[in-house]
Amino acid sequence: MRGGLLVLLSVVLAVLIPASALASPAEPRVGSLRGLVELVADRLDTADAVAAAKWATARQLGTEPSIDDPGREAQVYDDMARFGAGRALPENWIRQVFFGQIEASKIVQRGLVARWRFDPAAAPAAPPDLTKVRPRIDRLNVDIVEQLAAQRDELTAPDCMERLAPSVFGVLTSGRVDALHQVALIRAAAALCAP
């Protein structure tokens, strides 16, 4: 199973990231996007807690977990668009970035919920309170926007994906993220380059 996921990741990376970007990882690039990619990975880490809370709530109600939360998603888009405007960042870019972050989070949530359907004992016994997780997500969202502003030149460059690739690849191969989070990280990172 793990081998199949690594093949899938390789294919996705080959499509999203030109080989020239990975050819010489020791060659330094001007500026570093690693901090931004780490923030994106940190934000993805919160998806586990969100999935656990949604799973527990659904179990209590005797329903299926609802991964989509249109109200919360719209709030994130609007709040971050306003915050980005204060840093002269285009609204369409901010919305694109956070659409990518939210969709990546849903990849993790759906993956975990699917796992727990087949093995309910694997679900966390004491899920976190979403009211405690959301402030962390909100802080990470602000930090991501700050990094977008700080790294704007690299993220708006025509070769943005090539500039981003070494940082994404570094996190993917760090051993920090499992296969599910690797796929989600690729989805989230693909939204970072300005249109």
Please write the tens of the pLDDT for every residue from 19-73: 444 444 434 344 489 999 999 999 999 999 999 999 999 999 999 999 999 999 9
Tokens of 6: 């690594």
Name the one residue in this structure whose structure tokens are 């930090």: 143
For the chain, which domains are there?
33-61+69-190 (1.20.59.10)
Distance CA 150, CA 26 (A): 23
| Number of alpha carbons in the 13 Å side-chain half-sphere of residue 96 | 14
Region 81-99 average pLDDT: 98
Contacts of residue 51, defined as CB under 8 A and 6 or more positions apart, other chains included, come to 65, 67, 108, 109, 112, 113
Mean pLDDT, the chain, whole residue set: 87
Residue 123: pLDDT band (50, 70, 90) is very high
Name the one residue in this structure whose structure tokens are 């080989």: 19
pLDDT at 129: 87
Burial, 134: exposed, middle or buried (Cβ in 10 Å; 0-12, 13-18, 19+)?
A: middle
Distance CA 189, CA 168 (A): 7
Residues 29 and 123 sit within 8 Å (Cβ to Cβ): no
pLDDT at 10: 46
pLDDT at 125: 86
Q: How do residues 170-187 score in pLDDT, each as one tens digit? A: 999 999 999 999 999 999
